[in-house]
Amino acid sequence: MDSSPASDLPVFADIEDAAKRLKGWARLTPLLENPILNDQLGFRLVVKPECLQRTGSFKFRGAYNKISRIPEAARAGGVVAFSSGNHAQGVAAASTLMGMASTIIMPKDAPKAKIDNTRALGGTVVLYDRLTENREEIGERLKTEKGATLVKPYDDPMIIAGQGTIGLEIAQQSNEMGFKPDVVIVPAGGGGLVSGTALAISGTIGCPVYSAEPSTYDDTKRSLEAGSRQSVPIDSVSICDALLAPTPGVLTFALNQRLLAGGLSVTDEEALQAMKTALLSLKIVVEPGGAVALAAALTQKLDLEGKTVVVVCSGGNADPEMLARALAS
């Protein structure tokens, strides 16, 4: 299954095309910074807050780019996706906008808020029991019965191109604001967001791009170092629930290997501290997984002195309990 993905890989033009498609549908999230925080840090920290995106995370971009390309004839079959989190909401919102039905297969024990949000966005939620049922089988059944199209969370060229519009916006907005980023840091789970962003940056600003991960789910970092796709142990735990893919995607890793300057990782405690800084200094709500790139910058996993760094805060779907925990950290 690793066989020659090169022909499937998205190229820069795919991102430009995705940007046209997303215009008016995805929010153009602003670039934010706090001059007082910058003074304290000794470098310029600019945040791309995808927590302000439709559905509270960047996932809407890829989902809309993918779903809006489904041929007319296949639209009646709707879409199907597996997710307990941000991808579910992105897919539900995008398909509703396209007038398509979406079925999201979620574990029975998923947080009620996420199930409710997915339903509110127009998705039909099918709950399954993690212990006794196989979600792939349920998905296959829906595909054959209804002719539904499966929307993968990251390993799909149009998903990657959609997420890459973030990189394009960083290039355009920084130019309008009159500065040039020296470094860009992006959270990585399966690697769709960071690979797309890196592809966009490589065709525009051309500065180094790093991935950021939880230290217990540093599969992209390990894979970059090893030169091949590596997995983290199956029993690994992290509070960064949005980034718990144990292995990089095939397509995403092929891009990341070519485009990334390196992989960074942060502890859960560092992610919590970054959430607190986001809440109190940047006035935005960031979920633990969304805060890892910010955490990598704040704890200077790279030497950033005097530089301008752009970090993507990829999502804000954190429970109040988690926010309270971050505030107490």
Partner 1 sequence: MVSISDIRKARELLAGHVLRTPTVASPALSRLAGADVYLKLENQQVTGSFKTRGSFVRMAALSDAERKAGVIAASAGNHAQGVGYHAEKMGIPATIYMPANTPFTKVARTEALGASVILEGETVAESRIIAEQVADDAGKVFIHPYDDPHVIAGQGTATLELLEDVPDLDVIIVPIGGGGLASGCCLAAHAHNADMEIVGVQADAYPSMNQAFRNEPPHGKGATIADGIAVKEPGVLTTEILKQHMADVEIVREADIERAVQIFVDVQRLIVEGSGAVPLAMLMADPDRFRDRKVGLIVSGGNIDSRLLSSVLMRGLVREGRLAKLRISLIDMPGALAAVAGIIGNRGGNIVDVLHQRMFRDVPVKEADVDIAIETIDSNHVREIMEALEAKGFGTRLLSDTSLD
For the bound state, the minimum distance from the C-beta of residue 283 to partner 1, rounded and expressed in Å, comes to: 4
Residue 320 in contact with partner 1, rule: CB under 8 A: yes
Residue 164 in contact with partner 1, rule: CB under 8 A: no
Is the CB of 254 or the CB of 282 nearer to partner 1? 282
End-to-end CA distance of the chain: 43
Measured between alpha carbons, how far is 55 from 181 in angstroms, rounded to an integer?
27
Phi, psi of 100, deg, nearest 5: -110, 150
CB neighbour class for 132 (10 Å; exposed up to 12, middle 13-18, buried from 19):
exposed
Residue 187 in contact with partner 1, rule: CB under 8 A: no
Cβ pair 244, 190 in contact under 8 A: no
Residue 112 in contact with partner 1, rule: CB under 8 A: yes
Q: Which residues, 230 to 269, sit near partner 1 by CB under 8 A? A: none
Per DSSP, the three-state class of 102 is: strand
Cβ pair 157, 9 in contact under 8 A: yes
Which positions ≥6 away from 206 have C-beta within 8 Å? none
Q: Which of 8, 30, 76, 300 lies at the binding interface for partner 1 (CB under 8 A)?
A: 30
For the bound state, the minimum distance from the C-beta of residue 116 to partner 1, rounded and expressed in Å, comes to: 10
Is the CB of 255 or the CB of 323 nearer to partner 1? 323
Residue 41 in contact with partner 1, rule: CB under 8 A: no
Residue 172 in contact with partner 1, rule: CB under 8 A: no
Other CB atoms within 10 A of residue 6 CB = 8
Which residues of 141-187 form beta strands (DSSP E)? 149-150, 183-187
Q: Which of 70, 200, 284, 293 lies at the binding interface for partner 1 (CB under 8 A)?
A: 284
Q: Which residues, 49 to 108, sit near partner 1 by CB under 8 A? A: 49, 51-52, 54, 56
For the bound state, the minimum distance from the C-beta of residue 279 to partner 1, rounded and expressed in Å, comes to: 5
Residue 170 in contact with partner 1, rule: CB under 8 A: no
The per-residue DSSP string of 205-229 comes to: T---EEEEEEGGG-HHHHHHHHTS-
Q: Which of 100, 285, 291, 296 lies at the binding interface for partner 1 (CB under 8 A)?
A: 285
Residue 283 in contact with partner 1, rule: CB under 8 A: yes
Which two tokens mark 166?
């973030």
List residues binding partner 1 (CB under 8 A): 27, 29-30, 32-36, 49, 51-52, 54, 56, 112, 276, 279-280, 282-286, 316, 320-321, 323-324, 327-328
